[in-house]
Structure 1
Amino acid sequence: MSANPADGLSLEFSTDPGEFLDTAGGYLAADPLVSTVVTTVADRARAQQAAGVTQPERDWWLVVRGGGDAVVGAAMRTAPFAPYPLFLLPMPEEAATALATALHERGEEVSAVNGALPAAERCAAELARLTGGKLVVAQHTRLHVLEQLVQPERVPGRLVAATQAHADLVMEWLTAFMGDADEQAGRPRGSSPHELDPHTVARRLDAGELWFWVDDAGRPVHLTAVNPASFGVSRVGPVYTPPEHRGHGWASNAVAEVSRRVQAEGVRVCLFTDQANPTSNKLYAALGYRPVVDMANLLVIR
């Protein structure tokens, strides 16, 4: 479905991730680091669709075209948890405004917008204006890319793949991760919307995307996840160490080893940090991760 806002811009909505990737591929490939969330989700959705998995009817993808039919922006709404935030990649500010208008006109309720600045903020601000709401920043995030890996001080233990036998522990730790991240950033526990799907965890376990660091006794003490490569980029996260196991260097060693393995495959590796969490930002900087772009998770409160 297309919408024509003005100034030569057009908004093209699609429910087909394959169609979206075919159309926006050149735009996404031009900056695969910034596009990492969208490309990872779209690639996964396309594979699931090919396998006969039905996508939620609410999911959509967006291509923004400018003058001369060139793709100048992209977005998606595919989050599996309420309030189903939008995710915007860089686009002209007038396109971000036009997206808010188009969603409002078709009666699509939107109370959360994530993604690249300033596009995400412009879209959220216009949604707030149209609905009489208030724009609130829920989280400032920062995308980092690993340049030269700096090996941390070695600690006892090793990296091992999590399996289906660990599903309950993985669910427990990933659930705790969100609450702990809120507290470490000075936010109320549970203020970051997220919902774990056991089927998603099971799929990630089968795909080998979840790794434990185990101590000398073989006991899991840390969990690091990594997403499959898309457009030559793989994204690490989430990364979680239970409180009772912190301060031993498990996280540094696990992230370093996962990152080393990704780079050994000729793939660039990146990750997101919460700008309000000094611990994680310091850890990743010490490993050689460098900032790429700032993003934000925004709420429209009525």
Structure 2
Amino acid sequence: MSSDDWYLTADVDDFLARAGSFLRSRPGLHVMQLTWAERARTFGTDRFGTEAPVFGLLERAGEVCATFYRLPPRALGVSPLTPEQADSLADRLAALGHSVPSVSADHSTATAFAEAWQRHTGATPKLRDTRLRLYRLGTLTPPEPMPAGRGRVLGEQDLDQAMFWCGEFAKAVGEEVSIDADSWADTRFADKRYTLWETLDGTPVSIAGMNPMTGGQIQVDIVYTPAHLRGRSYAGAVTAEVSLAALAAGARDVVLFANLANPTSNALYQRLGYRALTDWAGYDFTSG
């Protein structure tokens, strides 16, 4: 396979016009492709940095069979690739002088690209410690009994509350991001719809967010409960609420990621009806 078989463009509308049907054909496995292409289309690519973005697709017999995106300074994101496809992509990007600080994809694809990138550039890949599992909702089964309280969708008047919870979530998962009124619109948290779980006296105890629908699919992202309030079914309640909201919005598929190092959350999502779709991995590269 020639590396020249990859079609590259900086135009996200061009990319979606060519690859949209392919991405929507397996929305779960293409969740990051769909999400970040839609964010680039909606908000423009300037927000991702001064380096030009690049999108790409691979065609066989007139049909798209693989895609990737690179929105600096974020990781390279790729659809599931065979080792041959990963090698041809690494060859093409290296020949064009593109920088790739990291790659994120399903585990086998990320590993295949990391090995190919090392061959073509001499860069050393390091597997990230955080390993994720991607789940897709089957039949939703809310907790029984539900904890006392209620779910409430956050509105514009709740911006301060949303920023506080997202800041707490970011700190908990090690994301280096500044969240305040000035920076909020440029964070990945700003385009979500949030649901709180409140106790009977109106105290917020857990939050879940969902991304806008893309390709008939909604990703649940984020789910967070403060450490001192865990073990009381609040996370299960708010995840069930936001999952119901996603289905009510017309989503054919609802997906979410869970950290494999947290068996509690993985077990919770499975009890709610989420089923494993694939394992996810990321590699960081140091220059060769």
CA distance in 2, matches of 1:244, 1:216: 18
Which residue of structure 1 lines up, in the alignment, with residue 146 of structure 2?
Answer: 154
**CA contact under 8 A between 2:195 and 2:241: conserved in structure 1?**
no
TM value normalised by structure 1:
0.83
CA contact (8 A) 1:14 1:61 kept: yes
Tell me which moved more, 85-94 or 168-177.
168-177
Cα shift at 1:194: 6.2
The one of 9, 14, 23 equivalent to 1:19 is 14
Q: CA deviation at 1:202?
A: 9.3
Deviation per CA, 1:263-284: give whole Å up to 9, x if none. Answer: 2333121111122221110110
Letter in 1 for 2:97: G
Gap change, CA 1:195 and 1:58, over 3 Å in 2:
farther
1:91 maps to which of 63, 81, 99 = 81
Distance 1:78 1:220 in 2: 35
* Counterparts of residues 63-212 of structure 1 (less than 5 Å): 63-66=57-60, 68-78=61-71, 82=73, 84-138=74-128, 139-152=130-143, 153-181=145-173, 190=174, 197-200=183-186, 204=190, 209-212=193-196
SS at match of 1:272: strand
Q: Deviations over 1:220-274 (max 9, x none)?
A: 2111110111111100011111112212211100110111122233312111112
Q: How does 1:214-253 map to 2 (within 5 A)?
A: 214-253=198-237
What is the identity, as a one-letter code, of the residue corresponding to 1:212?
L
The runs of 5 or more residues in structure 2 that have no matched partner are none
Q: Structure 1 residues 202, 101: closer, same or farther in 2, change over 3 A?
A: closer
RMSD: 2.6
**Partner SS state of residue 230, structure 1:** coil
Corresponding residue for residue 187 of structure 1:
none
* Structure 2 length-normalised TM: 0.86
The question of whether the paired residues in 2 share the 8 Å contact of 1:234 and 1:270 is answered with yes
CA contact (8 A) 2:192 2:212 kept: no
- C-alpha distance after superposition, 1:89-133 (max 9, x if no partner): 112322211222222222222221001232221112222334433
CA separation in 2, counterparts of 1:269 and 1:100?
32
Show the 5 A alignment for 1:249-264.
Answer: 249-264=233-248
One-letter amino acid of the counterpart of residue 220, structure 2: V
Q: 1:282 to 1:91 in 2, by over 3 A?
A: same
Letter matched to residue 281 of structure 1: N
The 3 A distance-change label for structure 1 pair 155 and 203 is: closer
The CA distance in 2 between the partners of 1:149 and 1:294, in whole Å, is: 21
Counterpart Cα distance in 2 of 1:65 and 1:193:
37
Residue identity (%): 29
- Stretch moving more, 208-217 or 247-256: 208-217
Instruction: Read off the aligned partner of 1:280 and give its amino acid letter.
Output: S
Letter in 2 for 1:160: R
Paired residues in the alignment total: 280
1: CA distance, partners of 2:20 / 2:188: 29
C-alpha distance after superposition, 1:151-198 (max 9, x if no partner) = 1021122222234454444334333324434xxxxxxxx4x6667652
Q: Give the match's secondary structure for 2:232.
A: coil
